[in-house]
Chain A
Amino acid sequence: MRSSYQRYLWQLLALCLLAAAIMPVVAWYDLTHCQEQPERLLMQYQLGKIDQLRDVDTVFVGDSSLGNAIDAGTFSKLSGKTAVNLALTGFHGYSASYNMIRRVIRHGAVRNVVVVQALDMMTRAPSYEGYAYSAQVMDLLDPRAFPFRELPSYLKALAGIFFNTQSLRNLVYFWLSSTTTPSWLSNDYIRQGPVRSVDEEKLKGLPTARIDLRNTWFLRKMAAYCREHDVNIVYMHGPTLDVRADLSGDYLRRVNDLIAQAGIPVVQQVVTLPLSMMGDSPLDHVAPENKAEATRLFWERLRGSLR
């Protein structure tokens, strides 16, 4: 009888190990083949741009505040030099910006990197999922990419990607779904949705107490990488609703200090816009019809900082 229980335990172990071995394969297939969600399509779209790059003057990396604000074509015309916008989303965070910078620099010559993130990005926790989704394979295994104490969070994020039944659901949905993905791209970024209402809390301004200092790790990494490869790096906050920016003075000063201490020069003047110029996310998304104007405002503030 004892042996039947023993055998049961071995069977259980074998089946669990088998499932653990199959799941990352399923996840990998899902990640590389099931392109349904706009965030994944966006990632592929921006990586496609990097593949096309030869020699570029200015590369923008950042989140949706960048994606909705800067039109690379307009910026190129204004500056007289080539520019590419590689905006991802807020979910990807600073860690993905770091990866995008590494991808671009590894690919070819670039003179300026401009990091543009929403004003509140420093209040968000570092995105280790964002790192994993944007990393090249070898970077996934780079132990120096994180402070040691953050390793459990990173491993958790990796497990969330490669050991997740969501991959299986995506795969089934992808195979069964007969509908084609609606056009997600508009104006070189994810198409804007209906205007979302603004949470009253968020209009009160950003408190310095909410700054997550762990974010400075990736800012330091970006600065060091660009310095190592002789690339000029500049930080600029994304366009911000004027009311919010006005009430976030202390926060802005503190964040600018932290970014500068990390080794990235900061363009002090924020592009602030009235509600009438904002889009689906009124705090930091410029409405599509105002993208050219926002690009001009960015160019005016950035021109002195670019090579």
Chain B
Amino acid sequence: MLFNSFTFILFFLPVVLAGSFVLARRYGATVCVFWALACSLFFYAWWNPRFMLLLIPSILFNYLMGIAIDRAAGRTRLIVLWASILANLTLLGYFKYANFLVDVANSTGLVSVELARVALPLGISFFTLQQIAFLVDTWKGDGNENHLPRYALFVCFYPHLIAGPIVHHKGILPQFRKAESFRYEPERVARGLTWFALGLFKKIIIADQCSLYVTPVFDAVAQGAHPGMASAWMGALAYTFQLYFDFSAYSDMAIGLALLLGINLPVNFLSPYKSGSIIEFWRRWHMTLSGYLRDYVYIPLGGNRKGPARRLVNLLLTMLIGGIWHGAGWTFALWGALHGVYLLINHAWRMLLEKLGVADWNRHGLYRALAWMTTFAAVVLGWVVFRAPSVHDALVIGRSLVGLGPGSGQLSGAQGNEFTFGVLGVVAAVAFFAPNSQELMNGESRLSWRPQWAWAWVTAAMFMVSLFSLHKPSEFLYFRF
């Protein structure tokens, strides 16, 4: 069941909300946890009930491991932690990477292994990461939950289950315990619905429109075509904006849906394409993943505590792991490595400026504009690698982007015309200059949301235009990761 489907909006959501509000008033939060858990499991099973055979044992296993770690002492505690992390990674590795690794092994010609195609269970990357964080924090003595339904709901709460934001147990579990959660609160419902409408609009009207210009270019390249410079830029820019509006739309909708039940989810995007450096970009893009990688990969690897050289290696490794987490393929690894290199260059540049005593250059408008342009171009190039079906295809598009491709003019099916660039220009203006969802919903500016007529009109218009446009709901891009 997709958030952007009639089934979800007109049937599932009203039933969940009505049930929650009634139960919260009569029985309190604990009963509501059961209700929300049942609804979340139903939501997950809607795609494929067989996936429950993975989700439920995973929850039970990690819950029991959490208890075991909590009760164990000394060296046993560490052994149980590593065993449980290994089990989680094995599960993720099998479902996400087994086919890829077998293909790679077979392609060397040294072995011939046959493995049936393994279906990737939805959300496995997200719920596995969240549970590993829970186990690590339990080991540190920083997290514990002995109420199984509450723990299960933390893992599979339907707003974030499939594509994040990656939630932290310390941020979510206490909210499930609060008596006022799950109750009908006009403010939370008003805010939640507005968040949801905003996300729905971004997905249906902006992201899906961009996708029309992405597929022809990347598909044509996959079939051996060589795009001209204009087509390559059109495909690359369209994907850059599609991914942002698609994924941030999902996050907005997730935040809104959780808020309707009185649960606050973390913000995941803060206008990443306004960033003036790659370091800043990663503070604004998929923030919950960046935070996770920082806390559970980069810092455990040593972070910046073991000297500048080791810090750079740790950064590179962290980004590589982040890339591979997104999917089984060389393009994802390359994308992660590319961003790792970007970060190295960014840090080296900062050190150089400090050494030269010109660190205040970033106060100058021209410097900031150049920095923004360089950052955005680097990000676009990264997305080409991320989206391309193969490294070779990424190189073909990359060459075309800089005018070195053999192709010229347009691809058939891809309109590199003024209209397309006009649409992308409008979308770009929104991404570069408009306030982001967080600023709109929680900011203090004149444009920020208030419970007034004008916002009611805007929200109703966004919601109804989106609703009347979703006759063929399309999946969110991050469902694949």
Query: What are 14 A-to-B residue pairs whose CB atoms are below 8 Å?
Result: A2-B186, A2-B187, A5-B186, A5-B187, A5-B451, A8-B190, A8-B451, A12-B190, A19-B461, A19-B468, A20-B464, A156-B6, A156-B471, A164-B471
B468 & A164 in contact (Cβ 8 Å cutoff):
yes
Docked CA distance A2–B459 (Å): 19
Docked CA distance A8–B190 (Å): 7
Tell me whether A6 is interfacial, beta carbon within 8 Å.
yes
Docked CA distance A189–B457 (Å): 46
The residue in chain B whose Cβ has the minimal distance to the Cβ of A23 is B468
Number of interface residues of B (CB under 8 A): 22
The residue in chain B whose Cβ has the minimal distance to the Cβ of A1 is B187
A7 & B457 in contact (Cβ 8 Å cutoff):
no
Known: A5-B190, A8-B452, A9-B190. A160 touches B471 (CB 8 A): yes
Docked CA distance A4–B451 (Å): 6
A15 & B451 in contact (Cβ 8 Å cutoff):
no
> Nearest-CB distance from B138 to chain A (Å)?
39
Docked CA distance A156–B461 (Å): 21
A6 proximity list for chain B (CB < 8 A): 186
Tell me whether A53 is interfacial, beta carbon within 8 Å.
no
Interface size, A (range) = 20 to 34
Contact with B along A1-45 (1 / 0, CB 8 A): 110111111011001100110010000000000000000000000
Across the interface, B456 reaches (CB within 8 A) one of A1, A12, A159, A164, namely A12
Tell me whether A165 is interfacial, beta carbon within 8 Å.
yes
Tell me whether A163 is interfacial, beta carbon within 8 Å.
yes
B interface residues (Cβ-Cβ under 8 A, vs A): 6, 186-187, 189-190, 193, 451-453, 455-457, 459-461, 463-465, 467-469, 471
A8 & B455 in contact (Cβ 8 Å cutoff):
yes
A16 proximity list for chain B (CB < 8 A): 460, 463-464
> Nearest-CB distance from A8 to chain B (Å)?
4
Docked CA distance A202–B467 (Å): 36
The residue in chain B whose Cβ has the minimal distance to the Cβ of A162 is B468
Contact with B along A211-222 (1 / 0, CB 8 A): 000000000000
B460 & A8 in contact (Cβ 8 Å cutoff):
no
Known: A160-B471, A164-B469. A15 touches B186 (CB 8 A): no
Additional 12 contacts, C-beta under 8 A, given A16-B460, A159-B6: A2-B187, A6-B186, A8-B190, A8-B452, A8-B455, A8-B456, A9-B190, A12-B456, A12-B459, A23-B468, A156-B471, A165-B468
B190 & A15 in contact (Cβ 8 Å cutoff):
no
B463 proximity list for chain A (CB < 8 A): 12, 16
B455 proximity list for chain A (CB < 8 A): 8
B460 & A12 in contact (Cβ 8 Å cutoff):
yes
Interface residues of A in 170-222 (CB under 8 A from B): none
> Nearest-CB distance from B467 to chain A (Å)?
7
B468 & A9 in contact (Cβ 8 Å cutoff):
no
A15 & B457 in contact (Cβ 8 Å cutoff):
yes
Docked CA distance A291–B260 (Å): 62
Docked CA distance A81–B274 (Å): 74
Known: A5-B186, A5-B451. A11 touches B467 (CB 8 A): no
A11 & B456 in contact (Cβ 8 Å cutoff):
yes
> Nearest-CB distance from A219 to chain B (Å)?
27
> Nearest-CB distance from A154 to chain B (Å)?
13
